[in-house]
Structure 1
Amino acid sequence: MGQRCAGAVLAVVAALLVGGCHHEQREAAARASAAALLARAPLTGPGFPPAAAAARSQLNGLTVEWGKNWQTYKRENFGRYWSDETDAVGGRNGCDTRDDVLRRDLSELREGDRNPCVVVSGVLHDPYTGKSLPYYYRRASQIQTDHVVALGAAWRAGAYAWTPQRRLEYANDLDVLLAADKQTNYDKSSKTADKWRPPRREYWCEYARRYTGIKHKYRLSVTAPEKLALQELLATCPAGQ
């Protein structure tokens, strides 16, 4: 009887060991698959942001009108959470959008061993201010994810008429997003280009190119003061850019 029990116990232990090995192999395969997917997923759309000349042309093609339905805006209209709606070419990579933004915008990047989506640490060279901001996973940081054309501004410029799915896609579009200094993001809030511009003048050109490219991509309108401000910002672009 004792020998039979001992044999049964050994069999169970062996099965557990084999099962554990298979589990580890599955985890390793999943990590490798995720890493491969991330490696081939572009985090910036083709041709984005547009060159200054293209941005000027796009700006001239935008509808000019005053914003509408501002009083009906709610953040929840664009979804409550970060998702994995699309990457820059319309696919999915298994990571939520905030992780994608951090992986794209931070330098000195260290990713998770078990989950390559997770950014463990890195440094943001903030485009709006020029500050170098450290990031550590699970620690408070001075980094937020900014919608270059803010959700409230997009709502007033036409997003109020979109489907919920279209708004969710906009809120998670990597072309729309930048990692940025938290206080500067608060200061920017939902202001349009005529009411706010980056403190760092060296970024005015790219900011206007991104902003105009987003408006063009989503067929959002601009107000007359907003268009004039974008023209002024694009005028700071170096010749030939």
Structure 2
Amino acid sequence: MSVKDAIALLAGAVVVVSFLGSAKTPPATAASPLGNAGGTLPGLAPIISDGDKARARDLIQRLRVKGLGPNTGYRRTRYGENWADTASGVPYARNGCRTRDDLLARDGRDVRYRAGSRCEVVSMELEDPYTGRLIRWHKDDADEVQVDHVVPLNYGWRMGAPRWPMSKRLDFANDPLNLLPVEGDANEQKDASGPAGWLPPQRRIRCAYATRFAQVAFKYNLPVTPADKKAMLAECR
């Protein structure tokens, strides 16, 4: 190798190190929603035992039901700027990091940050709870991992959010309980559906997903449609 080539190689390595910055150690194993009421633990572990399924059904049974309301007036901005650190009543609020980065750091393994930043995630590994796929993600292909609102913002709007104060809408949109980093394609297939219209392709996670949906709805006093409640109960039998 010539001196010129060696210098070029070293310069490239410096650029890579500078871009990646520091790394975070792997997080704990994915948590069951039954032990993660605040949403600060990573991922979504299956609910398997009969006792835990009974607890999940008890929660789902407590949800109010009503028909899906109109979509009148809905825009994403009704919940504030996308991923802005402006909520005040939820974990990670006003910590100086965008909500999306908070969630990538919560659920990712081998998380790396941009040099000079304690917030901006540029690469990680994610075991997608919806498909079971291991994703080696890099910010150059940002949409490969998207952060899903378990209870979609549009769904919340149609079930009562227009009557909320802006502070509650900000919390709902940025609450880690309502947010999961997942495969982008799966998130796009889900769109604004409730559980009667869409469930994760990975069947073993469906009761956990239904439970997380119910936790969010219960926390924000949102009703669900009769069909969604029926679908959630069926997944936890």
Normalising by the smaller structure, the TM-score range is: 0.7 to 0.9
Q: In the alignment, what sits opposite 2:14?
A: none
Q: In the alignment, what sits opposite 1:224?
A: 226
- Which of 137, 144, 147 lines up with 2:139 in the alignment? 137
- Residues 151-202 of structure 1, C-alpha deviations (whole Å, 9 max, x = no match): 1111112112111221111111111000011111111000010010000101
Q: CA deviation at 1:111?
A: 2.8
CA distance in 1, matches of 2:214, 2:66: 15
Q: In the alignment, what sits opposite 2:21?
A: none
Opposite residue 116 of structure 1, the aligned amino acid is R
Conserved 8 A contact 1:87-1:174: no
TM-score by length of 1: 0.72
Q: Could you tell me which runs of 5 or more consecutive residues in structure 2 were left unpaired when the two chains were aligned.
A: 1-23, 25-32, 40-46
Q: Percent identity?
A: 36
Cα 1:86–1:117 change in 2 (3 A) is farther
Match runs of 1:1-241 below 5 Å: 47-48=37-38, 52-84=53-85, 85-86=87-88, 88-89=90-91, 91-235=93-237
Q: CA deviation at 1:71?
A: 3.1
CA distance in 2, matches of 1:59, 1:74: 28
SS of equivalent residue, structure 1 residue 70: coil
Cα 1:52–1:89 change in 2 (3 A) is farther
Q: In the alignment, what sits opposite 2:10?
A: none
Conserved 8 A contact 1:148-1:177: yes
- Residues 94-139 of structure 1, C-alpha deviations (whole Å, 9 max, x = no match): 2110000100111122234421112131111111111111222344
When the two structures are aligned, how many residues end up with a matched partner? Answer: 193
Q: Could you tell me which runs of 5 or more consecutive residues in structure 1 were left unpaired when the two chains were aligned.
A: 1-34, 36-43, 236-241
For the aligned residue pairs, the C-alpha RMSD in angstroms reads 2.4
Opposite residue 107 of structure 1, the aligned amino acid is R
Opposite residue 185 of structure 2, the aligned amino acid is Q
- Residues 28-59 of structure 1, C-alpha deviations (whole Å, 9 max, x = no match): xxxxxxx9xxxxxxxx9953469544432232
TM-score by length of 2: 0.73
Deviates more, 1:72-81 or 1:149-158: 72-81
Deviates more, 1:50-59 or 1:210-219: 50-59
Deviates more, 1:80-89 or 1:170-179: 80-89
SS of equivalent residue, structure 2 residue 78: helix
SS of equivalent residue, structure 2 residue 72: helix
SS of equivalent residue, structure 1 residue 175: helix
Opposite residue 160 of structure 2, the aligned amino acid is G
Q: CA deviation at 1:90?
A: 7.0
Opposite residue 76 of structure 2, the aligned amino acid is R
Cα 1:86–1:107 change in 2 (3 A) is farther
Opposite residue 37 of structure 2, the aligned amino acid is G
Deviates more, 1:90-99 or 1:192-201: 90-99
CA distance in 1, matches of 2:101, 2:173: 14
CA distance in 1, matches of 2:72, 2:218: 24
CA distance in 1, matches of 2:62, 2:68: 17
Conserved 8 A contact 1:86-1:173: no
